């Protein structure tokens, strides 16, 4: 994770965040990473994609009640949770969650 904490980022952001709670040893987390990296380009300007390593930042994981990884949490610009997906997800399932809350601009 970068020098900025998730709570700091939430205070500064003007767009929603999709946070992936992960760990380097987690195979499903690694499998999902390229999907999210690709999606980040498609959603640029609408949703900011962020990653929290639960081993490096356990306090943040606890504060967001993360009990399993990978977990994706969609957080609005006010810091409120809009949605959550637990376990390995397909691009479609992630996009479906995003589209429930936002219209992707082409």
Active site residues: 26, 29
Query: For residue 86, which phi and psi values (nearest 5 degrees)?
Result: -120, 135
**Confidence (pLDDT) at 77:** 87
So where are the chain's domains?
Answer: 6-100
CATH class of 6-100: alpha beta
Segments of the chain scoring below 70 in pLDDT: 1-3, 103-106
pTM listed for this prediction: 0.89
């Amino acid at each position: 994770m970068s020098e900025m904490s998730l709570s700091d980022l939430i205070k500064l952001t003007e767009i929603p965040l999709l946070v992936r709670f992960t760990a380097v040893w987690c195979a499903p987390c690694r499998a999902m990473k390229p999907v999210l990296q690709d999606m980040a380009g498609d959603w640029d300007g609408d949703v900011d994609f962020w990653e929290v390593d639960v081993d490096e930042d356990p306090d943040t994981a606890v504060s967001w009640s993360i009990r399993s990884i990978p977990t994706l949490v969609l957080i609005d610009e006010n810091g409120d949770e809009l949605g959550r997906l637990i376990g390995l997800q397909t691009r479609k399932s992630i996009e479906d969650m995003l589209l429930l809350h936002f219209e992707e601009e082409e």
